[in-house]
Homo-oligomer: A and B are copies of this chain.
Amino acid sequence: MENLFATIITIGDELLIGQVIDTNSAWMAQELNKIGIPVKRRVAVGDQWDEIWQAIDEESKKASIILITGGLGPTADDITKPLLCQYFGGKMQIHQPTLDHVTNIFENILKRPMIDRNRKQAEVPDNCIVLRNEKGTAPGMLFKKDGKIFVSLPGVPHEMKWIMKQEVFPLIPTLFQTAHIEHRTMLTAGIGESFLAERIAETEQALPNHIKLAYLPNYGMVRLRLTASGFNKEAIIQEIDLHFEALKQAVGPYLVVDNDIPMEQVVGNLLIERNATISTAESCTGGYIAHLLTSRAGSSAYYKGSIVSYANEIKHQLLKVSEETLLNEGAVSEQTVVQMAKECLRLMNTDYSIAVSGIMGPDGGTETKPVGTVWVAVANKNEVKTKLFQFRYDRERNISLTATNALNFLRMLIVDNH
């Protein structure tokens, strides 16, 4: 049996001038991998007829499933639908269920008059399978040609996701036989990519050809991912689990978690296990640690609140950092974060707290405290631990690194106190 591959074509000038970051492709790739369809290529092209036509032509030679997103909106720069109609030799016609759906959205949800542009969204080529779009007005379309399928979806992320889940994925097993793919991912911290590679070299060399190892460094941590594929699902799972266990042994003390979850979720899980609560007192991260902790559904079980004390007067008035400390040691100092962490713990009445203060850049650095200098304190009722970090990057990255490393520092305090 031939291997089944997918390719993703995203359409839109906004992708080529860089005003929009493409998150659709990543989501589609993740979901396709889960059902055993590796994505071979991703291509982005602009809103030009010839470019889109050529991309569909070329990509269809490389894969059996061609997914196309974007270019289906109601405005004049959207040309995908007439192009597909012509490409597959169809004729445009009104699709009544779609027209009913669009009419209903305007009459009952948006409560606005429907204009011609909206009505046109219910026109589809007569040779496609129409894919319902409950989340918006532009329907998806599926075409078949030479044993391959071509799926066209709107570029709005939640509409694309809904159609993929409800309409496309249920169809695929009826059209193709798919291989099974297994991934195992772990998060490591406290060791650079090169040294980690040296440490696990033997385990890596022992991997069979059909199991691949990837290093995914991010924010000063490295994720390791094993990927195995084949048609015997049980054998694949047994084999990858064996190698994953060996890899965990090799990684040893640098292992954070044997799962593909972000640091905030690692901390959240530990807190849930212990029925414990957390609060944060943030200066330089400006609420980003709170945002990470609350980005997960159900975080109200362990997260109570934060004081973002950007101005020194807030550090003093709300977090009781002494004027003496602010004057003599400065806002970016060990004493400041210790006082912030302690008062935060008391004020919010939580089991743990995190406090951070630092210089994120590009301005504000000094000889003794250059940009990237960060003090972190983590506390519980019995102790406060502090750590000085020195990052070397731009503002955005420094904020992310501070947040992730502060959460990791708290993780170690929680684990030590088990």
Contacts and interface: CB of A to CB of B under 8 A. Distances in A.
B29 A16 contact: yes
Interface string A10-21: 000111111111
Contact of A117 (B26, B74, B197, B298): B197
A162 B247 CA distance: 34
This chain: how many copies in the complex? 2
Interface in A45-97: 45-47, 51, 55, 58, 73-77
A213 interface: yes
B75 A197 contact: yes
Interface in A90-135: 110, 112, 115, 117-118
A75 B215 contact: yes
Interface stretch (A139-147, A301-309, A381-389): A301-309
* Majority DSSP secondary structure for residues of A touching B: mixed
B213 A77 contact: yes
A227 interface: yes
Contact of A216 (B19, B287, B291, B314): B19
Given A17-B39, A21-B26, A314 B305 contact: yes
A43 interface: yes
B297 A286 contact: no
Given A51-B41, A214-B13, A287-B294, A311 B307 contact: no
**Chain A: interface size category:** 35 or more
A307 B55 CA distance: 50
B310 A307 contact: no
Contacts of A214: 13-14, 47, 77
Interface of A: 13-23, 25-31, 33, 38-47, 51, 55, 58, 73-77, 110, 112, 115, 117-118, 156-158, 183, 185, 192-195, 197-198, 204, 212-218, 223, 225, 227, 260, 280, 282, 285-291, 293-295, 297-300, 303-311, 313-314, 317-318, 347-349, 360-363, 393-397, 399
